[in-house]
Amino acid sequence: MTSSLVRYKQRADTTRIILHDSHTTPDIRSGEEVPRWKALAKDGALRMGLLGIGYHFIIERDGTVALGREVDQIGTHTPGHNLDSIGICLVGGRTDRETASDNFEARQWRALFATICALKGRYGDLDVLGHSEVQRYRNRCLPDCPPVDMDDVRQELSIYEHTRRLRNDGTQ
């Protein structure tokens, strides 16, 4: 069977958005990450049973929103939590191989919040959670995914929902 014949199952319920980071350094250029993942996913398909990128949206460093899996199909991003959730991945989140850091760009946050607003328009209200809030790593020493304060993210989101701006976007 070729990959063009693969059909993922449709998701029956959509109640949550689960946010991830790509665990890569900020110097990754936009437009490079997603093709690399697609190649990796294709290569890994036989070994891991994965048929493609497991996230629905990938927010690149320049704020480009790249499409992964079809939004109505069941993702493969958070084991045990995929049946009712949409997975979004922010590219970045590391300063080097070892160290997590909240190094995301304002344009990534704007793109993320605009995407979340569009999804709420389509599916109704959705909880927005960080991967680590719903699933702990087995190794508790690993940093959170994404390495951000999710309460701050939710507060920023509610500001964005009312103003279509980030808190620190100034007056322009």
91 binding Zn ion? (CB under 5 A): no
First to last CA, the chain: 53
Residue (119 or 132) nearer to Zn ion, CB: 132
11 binding Zn ion? (CB under 5 A): no
Stretch binding Zn ion (CB under 5 A), from 32-40, 98-106, 137-145, 161-169: 137-145
Tokens of 166: 């980030």
Residue 73's nearest CA partner among 1, 119, 116, 14 is 14
Stretch binding Zn ion (CB under 5 A), from 4-12, 13-21, 68-76, 157-165: 13-21
**16 three-state secondary structure:** strand
DSSP state of 98: S
| Shortest CB 106 distance to Zn ion, Å | 22
Stretch binding Zn ion (CB under 5 A), from 68-76, 128-136, 154-162, 163-171: 128-136
Tokens of 53: 């990128």
| Shortest CB 129 distance to Zn ion, Å | 11
Residue (17 or 145) nearer to Zn ion, CB: 145
Tokens of 10: 């449709």
Binder of Zn ion out of 131, 147, 153, 157 (CB under 5 A): 131
CB neighbour class for 136 (10 Å; exposed up to 12, middle 13-18, buried from 19): exposed
**57 three-state secondary structure:** strand
Binder of Zn ion out of 66, 86, 119, 145 (CB under 5 A): 145
Q: Where does this chain bind Zn ion (CB under 5 A)?
A: 20, 131, 145
